[in-house]
Each structure stands twice: as structure tokens, then as C-alpha cells.
């Protein structure tokens, strides 16, 4: 096949579960996986799927991409598995940081969009700067992945488990260099983003104490969203700020500009270690082993059941 998009189109015609092999090389395209139970397998880090779109840049039709539309790879069907791939948004974020030319630097590498559920991502590199990984909805399992970014680079409302992943904060200049997670979890949903046995690392040149574990995203001022995220048995380098979490601003339904604080959201830790770990604080709440085990059980892949 000449492209991954062409292979996805062929798989759609089969009408049954299928596997696509993405060979080594740089594949510059912007596919959408809308075929249920599709597996895409690469040859490892050398199978690179990349594109360079950002929210403020214009599509060929003249409209702007927007955050979700900027994604290099979009998953919009249940039961999709990705393995042994590099998924990258190569938008030049650092140049845009000084010029502001894009008008919106959110540049997603992988989006689990509307329709995604029971997504599995293993042994993949997911690379970007701002909004690298958008886990919008559904349930997702990430294992042995390497995720690179800066601002809110793992975000969304899904119930997503990150198992044994390496989370790398990129070297962005400034007193605040980034935020790892930005959960927008519905209040009625018991779990959001759960990081288990992950390693929070940094690129060379990123200063100590300049990255927050995250901030709760009340997308669109939706008051029904109270972001949930948990770091369980994770190792954190010294780039993580001692306060751990911070607030995120939003516009309330009455037009008032305000913010959702860590204390109002569901942002917790258990068993953190390393130089970025810190004692319990008002903004850095610790949970006990039983509560941590409940979150792990709720996001265990063996608990998934097919829809319908």
C-alpha cells in the first residue's frame, strides 16, 4: 500500500478484524482509524507516522485545524490496537513559541476521539510539545510507551491507564516549562488518567521545579467536569514542582473568568519516589494503598467488556 490511509480503507471493506503492518520509514500523512478492532503494527521506532499541523494553522479548505483536528493519527473506533510505532506531530513549536505565528500551538500527535473505546497502545513513542496525546473519551491502556511533550501533553476525559511508561518533559524555556496531565474527567466518571509505575523524566536543559504534574481542565467551562488523575508508584525527577499540581482557568457559564483548583479536582498520588516526590500538601494529596488499588482495578484491561 502507498499509505496507511489506503490500508485502512481496504480494512474497512473487509468488515472483520484486521491487522496492518506499517514498515520502517517515515510516513507523512494524517490518517483516521474508523474501523473497529483494527490492529496497526510497526517495526519499532523506525516506523514513523508524522505530520505537522497545529490548532491555529489553516487546513487546505481555509478553515483552522483546531486542537482535535491537528492530530497526526486519530482513532475513532472501538477495539483499536497500536504497537511498535512512532507517532509524531512535527509542528515547529519552539519557533512558534517566540513568533506566535500559528495563532494556536496545540499540536496533537495521537487523538483517541469520539467513538474510541478499549484502545490499546503498546511499545509506542508519542511525540509532540503542546497537547501531544488527546485521550478524549472511552477506555484506553498504554503500556511501555514513551510520551514526550511540554504543555498539558496528556489530556482529556478518558479513563486511561499508563503502565510502565516513560513520560518525558521537553526543554521549554521559562519559569514554568509545562504540565504533564490535564484531565477533563466527567464528575460522574470514577476514574480519569491513572499512571502506574511510570518514570517522569526530562530532556537535558530543563530546570528543576519547572513542571507541574498537571492541572484540571474544565473544557468549555463545563461545570460537570472535575478532572481526575493519579500517579501511583511513579518515579519523578527533580523537574517536578514541589507543589505538584496547579489550577487551570476557565470561563464559567455566567461569563465570569475563574479557575478550577487542585483542591476542587481529584488529583492524587501514592508511593511517589525520586527527587520530584514531595510530602503531602494542600495541593498534593496522597491516598492510601487501598484507594490506589481501587483505581488500578477500575482501569485494569481485564475488566473491559465489549459494547452492547
* Residue positions annotated with a catalytic role: 131, 152
Tell me which DSSP letter residue 64 carries.
B
In contact, 233 and 201? CB cutoff 8 Å: no
Give Cβ neighbours of residue 293 (< 8 Å, ≥ 6 apart): none
Contact 11, 20 (CB under 8 A): yes
Distance from the Cα of residue 196 to its chain's centroid: 15
Structural contact between residues 247 and 282, judged by C-beta atoms closer than 8 angstroms: no
For residue 218, what are the contacts with CB-CB under 8 A and spacing of at least 6? 184, 225, 226, 227, 248, 250, 260
Residues 6 or more apart from 138 whose CB is under 8 A from it?
78, 112, 115, 116, 117, 118, 119, 158, 159
Say how many C-beta atoms besides its own lie within 10 A of residue 221's C-beta: 16
Burial of 29 (0-12, 13-18, 19+ CB in 10 A): middle
Helix or strand run (H / E) with residue 98: helix 93-99
The tally of CA atoms less than 13 A away on the side-chain side of residue 69 is: 11
* In the block, residue with C-alpha cell 468488515: 15
User: How many CB atoms are located within 10 Å of the residue 5 CB?
Assistant: 14
C-alpha closest to that of 82 among 44, 54, 52, 26: 44
Give burial (CB, 10 Å; 0-12/13-18/19+) of 112. buried
CA distance 20 to 38: 8
Amino acid at each position: 500500500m502507498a499509505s496507511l490511509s489506503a490500508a485502512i480503507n481496504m480494512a474497512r471493506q473487509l468488515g472483520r478484524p484486521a491487522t496492518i503492518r506499517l514498515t520502517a520509514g517515515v510516513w507523512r500523512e494524517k490518517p483516521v482509524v474508523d474501523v473497529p478492532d483494527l490492529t496497526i503494527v510497526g517495526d519499532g521506532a523506525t516506523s514513523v507516522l508524522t505530520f505537522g499541523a497545529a490548532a491555529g494553522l489553516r487546513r487546505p479548505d481555509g478553515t483552522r485545524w483546531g486542537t482535535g483536528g491537528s492530530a497526526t493519527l486519530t482513532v475513532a473506533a472501538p477495539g483499536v490496537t497500536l504497537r511498535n510505532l512512532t507517532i509524531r506531530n512535527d509542528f515547529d513549536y519552539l519557533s512558534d513559541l517566540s513568533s506566535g505565528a500559528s495563532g494556536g500551538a496545540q499540536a496533537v500527535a495521537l487523538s483517541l476521539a469520539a467513538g474510541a473505546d478499549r484502545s490499546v497502545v503498546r511499545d509506542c513513542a508519542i511525540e509532540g510539545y503542546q497537547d501531544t496525546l488527546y485521550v478524549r473519551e472511552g477506555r484506553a491502556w498504554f503500556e511501555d510507551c514513551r510520551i514526550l511533550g511540554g504543555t498539558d501533553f496528556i489530556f482529556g476525559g478518558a479513563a486511561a491507564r499508563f503502565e510502565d511508561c516513560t513520560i518525558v518533559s521537553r526543554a521549554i524555556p521559562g519559569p514554568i516549562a509545562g504540565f504533564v496531565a490535564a484531565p477533563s474527567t466527567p464528575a460522574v466518571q470514577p476514574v480519569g488518567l491513572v499512571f502506574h509505575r511510570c518514570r517522569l523524566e526530562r530532556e537535558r536543559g530543563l530546570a528543576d521545579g519547572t513542571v507541574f504534574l498537571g492541572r484540571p481542565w474544565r473544557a468549555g467551562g463545563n461545570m460537570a467536569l472535575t478532572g481526575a488523575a493519579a500517579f501511583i508508584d511513579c518515579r519523578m525527577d527533580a523537574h517536578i514542582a514541589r507543589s505538584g499540581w496547579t489550577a487551570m482557568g476557565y470561563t464559567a457559564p455566567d461569563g465570569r473568568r475563574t479557575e478550577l483548583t487542585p483542591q476542587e479536582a481529584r488529583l492524587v498520588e501514592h508511593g511517589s519516589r525520586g527527587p520530584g516526590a514531595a510530602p503531602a500538601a494542600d495541593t498534593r494529596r496522597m491516598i492510601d494503598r487501598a484507594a490506589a488499588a481501587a483505581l488500578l482495578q477500575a482501569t485494569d484491561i481485564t475488566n473491559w467488556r465489549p459494547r452492547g
